[in-house]
Every structure is written in structure tokens, then in C-alpha cells.
Amino acid sequence: MRTLTAWIDQRVDLAGIRRTLLDRKMPGGLTWWHTLGSATLTVFMVQVTTGIVLAMYYAPSPDHARDSIRYLETTVASGALLRGIHHWGSSAMVVLVLAHMIRVFTMGAYKYPREINWLLGVGLLFIVLGFGFTGYLLPWDQKAYWATQVGTNIAGTTPFIGGALVKLLRGGSQLGAATLSRFFALHVLLLPVLLGLVVLLHLALVVRQGIAPRTAVLEAGAPERTSDPEYAGFYNGSYSRSKAGGVPFWPNIIAKDLIVAAVVVVTLFLLARFVGAGLEAPADPSDTSYVPRPEWYFLPFFQLLKLVPGSLEAAVAIGFPAAIVAALLVLPFVDRGSTRSLRRRPAAAGALVVVLGGASLLLGAAARDEPKGGGAAGLELGSAERSGRALFKRQQCGSCHLLAGETQEKKADAPDAPDLTEVGLKHSGAWIHSFLEDPARFHPDSKMPAFGPPTLSHQEIEELSRYLVTLRGPNGANRQPEFRDTFPEPVKPKE
């Protein structure tokens, strides 16, 4: 082993690589916030590892995509766990990239000489969001289908090129087989290569320029602006001094990085193990009652679109993301003050508060609007149940009964009727069937009309009851029904 190392060392100068990469001095007093970049890199490697194995069990075709994922989850050893890690890993990527970006912003680390690396980082953010958008479609379940329907339609509102853009994204005029193949190719071929290359550049620059030190180091005696001619000289002097009093990258900094990375990975593992990734009913383009929802990190934007009036929607849908991209790209060139501490940058602090506060408020509003697991959450509807749901609408059951998740408005003058959100936990299908036929038999003063023939056929009543028993409220798939069925005394024939 030692001779092998020596043999390679003679040829490629391992010691030199070690000096450049591992032994390099880092400025002293780096914070735990400085570990966010390496934590993101770790999760990226986790995503690559889990993604390669997931791809082996995945068929990018509407006929088989969801079946292949079911197969992975039910048949393949550790399959569900692996998919869970990948699922939560995507959220972790977004969270960590944003947190890393906020760290760089608050410490003014995008300023001289790291403007290029800021731009590369902005690119990485959008590549990561691209991963999230393309990956979300792949399970080809209801959630995937409808979120992508909305997502691609937003692109379609772009002025002039919208029509062409939406067809380009979908690989045709309809969301379908071509879209799925296209998103799969982007997700597993183009984006990983792109992200890998930009990450390499990003890291190469970090090694070349050194990590940004604590803000105080670069503030004492600094010229007013980073564009001043003497700023470069000041910077080099201060930075070398901070490195002289610093610590080597290995093991001092790497240990810290790995501690944070390990905490992140353990969290991912626990989320995958105990929450999992979820898989909804197969995509059903004819089901117009489904309320589309994007992945949570797109929710603030989604919520914003709900708030603007229809006439402005197209402008906001395209203008808002474009404005964010533009603001991020010009930031290091507009902000050339040499002050780095956020305390002495009121404008930057204000912008950060507005952006983070606004996003949190929108996210909160979106969470409040979330359909409360109404409908048949988590349970797959067969054809009988689906006809039952259609009957529920046609008979306007929702004009008296409340059913969370269904959009129908309750009429103001309608009589009070029981909330049906969790009716499937309370009554059996048989009980519901006979109740629908003639409610007065159960409650003599019931205001509910009888739906027995000729209003509805026995077949239709059965379909309606079968739909109603699937209503179990939020998290219904995990709850056990406790039936409280009481049947009226059979009517005795008169003597």
C-alpha cells in the first residue's frame, strides 16, 4: 500500500495536492454558518447516490412510472427508504442552498473579490430548483401531474414566446408521455452534468480565493468602496493576516463541515424512515376536482399568484421571477460599499427582512389554504367511488353538507347538516346506503330528502355510499374507523 502511494506520488505529486487542498490555511474564527456550502455538497452527493439506484427501478412512461415506483417501494429491499431519502434530500438541497445564500448575503461575502462565485451560486440555485420541478413530475401521480400542469401553464403566460415555451417544456401541446421522458432526461442527464460542472467551478474558486473571513477582518481601515483603486491592496493585506492567524483546512474545518453534514443526513434518514415520500393515486387528467399543489418551496410564489388580480397575473407570473433573477445577478455590481457587517448595511438588512418575511407570510397563507385532507385523502378511488363522487356533486350534497377539500360553497340559507369530512370513520357503507334511501326512518325529523328510487337507483346509492366511506379526513389512511351504526327498529306490519 505504502509503495503504491509512493509510486503514484512520484508521478502526480500527491503531497502537492495535499498542500493545496487539505493543508491550506483558513482564516480564523469561521462560524458554523460557514459549513452550509459543504452540507449542500454532501446532500448533492446523497442525491446522486440514491438517484442512480432509483433510476434502475424507474420507467419514464405514463403507463408504468407509478407502477415502477410502487414496485420499488413494496418489493425492492430498502426501496422505500431510498426514495424517502431522495425525496427529503430535494427539500434539503433547497433549504441549504437558500441558507448558504443568506449566509453569504449577510456577511457581504458576495463583494470583492467573490462576485463571480456569487453569480455561479445564483446559477446553482436555479439548477437546484430545476431539479425540484422536473423531479416532482416523475412519480406520475395526481400531485405530480397537476402541479406540472400548473407549472408549465405559468411558463405559457410569458409574452410573445409563451405558446412556444409551454410546448417546448411539454414536448408537445399536451402534458403527457413526451413530457415525462423529457423531464426524466433533464433530471437525470442534463441537470446533474450542469450542476456538477458549476459546482466544480464554484469549489475551484473557493480554493483559489479562500473562504470569506468574518466581516470584522475586512472592515477595519477599509476604503469606502470596493471599487476604490486601493481596495485590492487593503483586501490582500487583511486577508493574508487573517489567514496567518488561521487554522488548516484539514482536519479543523473539515471536522466541523462533516459534523453538520452528518446531522443533515441523519435528519434525512429519519424523515425517510418515519415519514416517507408518499405516492398518490395515478395521474387522472379527467379529474378536475383535484386541487393542484406545487412542492412547498414553490408555494410562496404560487400563493402570490393567487393574490394578484387576474389581469396582472401574467405580468407577475413572469415578471416576479425575472425580477428576482435580475436582482440577484446585479447585486454584487450595484452594492460596492466596503461595509460587510449586516448591522451597518441597513438597506441590505431591510431587503432581507422584506424578502424572508414576505416569503414566510405567503408560505403561511398557503399552508392555511391547504385543503384539509378532504376528499379521499390517501385512499385510491376505484371506478364505483369515482362515480359516487360525481353523484355527490350532481346531487349538490355540498350545498348543505360541509366537506373539507371540496370546493363547493355552502349555501347561506341551507339547513345545517352534518360535516361529512370524516364520515367514513363513523359509519359503514351498509349503514350509509340504507340511510340515504330514507333518512326519515333513522331520524323522523331529519331535513334530509330521501334519495331512494326513483330519485337515485340502488346502483347509484351504492356508488355514493362507497364514495362516502372513503372520506376519512386528514391522514385518513392511517386511521381506523370506529363505526357508530345504529339501525332503526324494523317496522312491524300492522295487524
Partner 1 sequence: MGCFPAFVPDSHLPFHRPSDAVHSTSSANLALGSEMAETIIEDVGELETPLGRRGFLRWVSGACAAVIAALVGVPAVRALLAPATAKPLTDAWIKVADDTALLDIGTPVRLDFVQNQADAWIDGRAMNSVWLYTEDGDTFKAYNGHCTHLGCGYVYDKDRKTFICPCHRGQFDVKTGAVLAGPPPRPLDELPVQVRDAAVYVKYHDFRLGVPERVEA
Comparing CB distances to partner 1, the nearer of 234 and 269 is: 269
Within 345-404, the residues that bind partner 1 by CB under 8 A are none
Comparing CB distances to partner 1, the nearer of 116 and 247 is: 247
Comparing CB distances to partner 1, the nearer of 72 and 469 is: 72
Q: DSSP letters along 117-152, please?
A: HHHHHHHHHHHHHHHHHHHHHTT-BHHHHHHHHHHH
Quote the CA–CA distance of 171 and 78 in Å, as a whole number.
Answer: 34
58 and 65 Cβ atoms separated by less than 8 Å: yes
Quote the CA–CA distance of 153 and 160 in Å, as a whole number.
Answer: 14
First vs last C-alpha separation in the chain: 103
Assess 38 for contact with partner 1 (CB under 8 A): no
Assess 181 for contact with partner 1 (CB under 8 A): no
Among 168, 262, 322, 356, binds partner 1 (CB under 8 A): 262
Compute the radius of gyration of the chain from its Cα atoms. Answer: 29
Quote the CA–CA distance of 255 and 480 in Å, as a whole number.
Answer: 47
Quote the CA–CA distance of 481 and 35 in Å, as a whole number.
Answer: 48
189 CB-near residues (< 8 Å, 6+ apart): none
Assess 405 for contact with partner 1 (CB under 8 A): no
Within 102-121, the residues that bind partner 1 by CB under 8 A are 106-107
Assess 254 for contact with partner 1 (CB under 8 A): yes
Size of the site for partner 1 (CB under 8 A): 50
| DSSP-H helix ranges across 210-298 | 231-244, 254-274
Q: Quick one: cell of 393?
A: 356533486
Comparing CB distances to partner 1, the nearer of 100 and 427 is: 100
Comparing CB distances to partner 1, the nearer of 204 and 259 is: 259
Least Å distance between CB 281 and partner 1? 16
Assess 238 for contact with partner 1 (CB under 8 A): no
Amino acid (one-letter) located at 228: D
Among 77, 347, 412, 491, binds partner 1 (CB under 8 A): 77
Assess 57 for contact with partner 1 (CB under 8 A): yes
Comparing CB distances to partner 1, the nearer of 85 and 397 is: 85
Among 9, 24, 76, 321, binds partner 1 (CB under 8 A): 76
Least Å distance between CB 92 and partner 1? 12
Q: Quick one: cell of 45?
A: 452527493
Q: How many CB atoms lie within 10 A of CB 21?
A: 12
Which residue is listed with cell 434518514?
Answer: 269
Least Å distance between CB 107 and partner 1? 7
Q: Which of 103, 118, 33 is nearest to 335 (CA)?
A: 118
Residues of this chain that interact with partner 1 (CB under 8 A) are 28-29, 31-33, 42, 46, 49-50, 52-53, 56-57, 59, 64, 67-68, 70-72, 76-79, 81-82, 85, 106-107, 214-217, 251-252, 254-256, 258-259, 261-263, 265-266, 268-269, 341-343
